[in-house]
Amino acid sequence: MAAEATKRKSALALLFALAAAAALGGCVSVETTAEVAPDASTSTQFAMRANANLAQASVAIVSVEGAPPAVAADFVRRLDGAARTRDLSLVDFAKARYLVRGYLSASPTADGAEIDYVWDVFNAAKQRVQRLSDAVAVKGAPGDPWALAGEAAMNSVAAKSADDLAAFLSNTPEAAPAAAAIDPPAASVQGYASLK
Q: What is the pLDDT of residues 56-67, one digit of tens each?
A: 889 999 999 999
For the stretch 136-171, pLDDT in tens is 999 988 888 999 888 999 999 999 999 999 999 998
E strand or H helix that includes residue 148: none
What pLDDT score does 100 carry?
95
Distance, CA of 116 to CA of 121 (rounded, Å) = 16
pLDDT band at 45 (very low <50, low <70, confident <90, very high): low
pLDDT band at 127 (very low <50, low <70, confident <90, very high): very high
For the stretch 165-178, pLDDT in tens is 999 999 888 888 76
Domain positions in the chain: 28-174
Looking at residue 41, the DSSP 8-state letter turns out to be G
Average pLDDT score over the chain: 74
What are the percentages of helix, strand and coil residues in the chain, rounded to 5?
50, 20, 30
Residue 66: is it exposed, middle or buried by C-beta count within 10 angstroms (0-12/13-18/19+)?
Answer: middle
E strand or H helix that includes residue 161: helix 151-170
pLDDT band at 55 (very low <50, low <70, confident <90, very high): confident
CB atoms within 10 A of CB 94: 7
pLDDT at 184 over 90: no
What pLDDT score does 175 carry?
83
Distance, CA of 48 to CA of 54 (rounded, Å) = 11
Q: What is the mean pLDDT of residues 44-55?
A: 74
What pLDDT score does 126 carry?
92
Q: Would you say 68 and 146 are in contact if contact means Cβ atoms under 8 Å apart?
A: yes
pLDDT at 81 over 90: yes
What pLDDT score does 73 carry?
93
Q: Would you say 57 and 172 are in contact if contact means Cβ atoms under 8 Å apart?
A: yes
Name which CATH class applies to 28-174: alpha beta
Angle between helix 151-170 and helix 69-85 axes, rounded to 10 deg:
50
Q: What is the mean pLDDT of residues 14-30?
A: 35
